[in-house]
Amino acid sequence: MDQAKFTHEIQTRAMNSRFVLVGICAWISSCLLVAGWLPELSGNLQSVWLMSGLLGLVSAVGLAETIKADIRVQEDLLNEYMHAAMTDGLTGLANRQALDRMLTTLLREPESRRGPLSMIMIDIDRFKAFNDEFGHQAGDAVLRTVSRKMQEFFGGKAMVARYGGEEFCIVLPSCILKDANHLAESCRLMMRQVECEFREQRFRITISCGVTEANSLDTPDSLTQRADMALYTAKKMGRDMIWVADPGSTMPTSPESSSNSAPPILPSKKDLQVLDSVLATVEPRSTASEARLENPADHAPDTNDGPDLKEPEYTVAGSRMHQ
């Protein structure tokens, strides 16, 4: 049984027990009042019974109101606890537990009823190197800024959750893969313009995105794994780009696909070795990137933690996939 439901059930039983006690008190008081009107009783005894009955009824009403107020306070506290349990303390976004609950609820419904469901996994590029150079407080400031901007960008049309570390997960109900792809690209471009401030220092960041859509057989784990693999590939290809995972295939492909062709297809974790060998032979730089760089050889994508976020290198323009 869910812990929140169990706690609520215990509180409900306690409240019901109190109301039963109030009911018993009210019944006894009513009996005293009725008995007080009996003509067989002497005047003094009749007055005592009537007064006892009235006091009992007043006490029962007061106790009932106290119990109601206590119930409201406990419900407010329970809601606060549940909100805290589902919220990331640093960023204020939904946390991993809230994400898992939402995915479980959505994927439990038949596909014909829930409609399309897409997911975007987002990772801040070179965040570890940034933390090592500027410290975790600066890293926390970057996380808060990124979280706020993503909340503003996606608004009420998506659930934005912190998946862990510098990784975020966006769940898009009623959104097909193509639309999720366009949203991810717009978010990527928006993030390149964001300035993060910390102690009079300003930093610019880039993000990498993995996009996929749920199929009829997906579970929360399989959907998340496929989106995470897309994100892994985007970072492997040079960062600051988007990779799309086809919902129904596990074969690797080159990022040379145009927007009119089928989206790139990702391998499963078992195919990582094959994927790495394919990626090693692919030149990820776009024509637009080569024209913009004075010396392209100095800007080849790497797989190690590069320079910090203060001077980001936009070596791969992932928008080529969406032109």
Residues that are catalytic: 166
Strand pairing class (195-198; 242-245): unpaired
Compute the 3-state secondary structure of the chain and give helix, strand, coil in percent, each to the nearest 5: 55, 15, 30
Give the integer Cα–Cα distance in Å for 155 and 256.
Answer: 32
Cβ atoms of 116 and 42 closer than 8 Å? no
> What residues contact residue 38 under an 8 Å CB cut-off, 6+ apart?
46
Packing angle of the helix pair 127-134, 136-154 (nearest 10 deg): 140
As given in the structure block, the two tokens for residue 134 are 């500027």
What is the SS3 assignment for 262?
coil
Residue of 51, 53, 25, 149 whose CA lies nearest to 92: 149
Neighbours of 36 (CB within 10 A): 18
Q: What sign does the dihedral 55-61-64-65 (CA atoms) show? A: negative
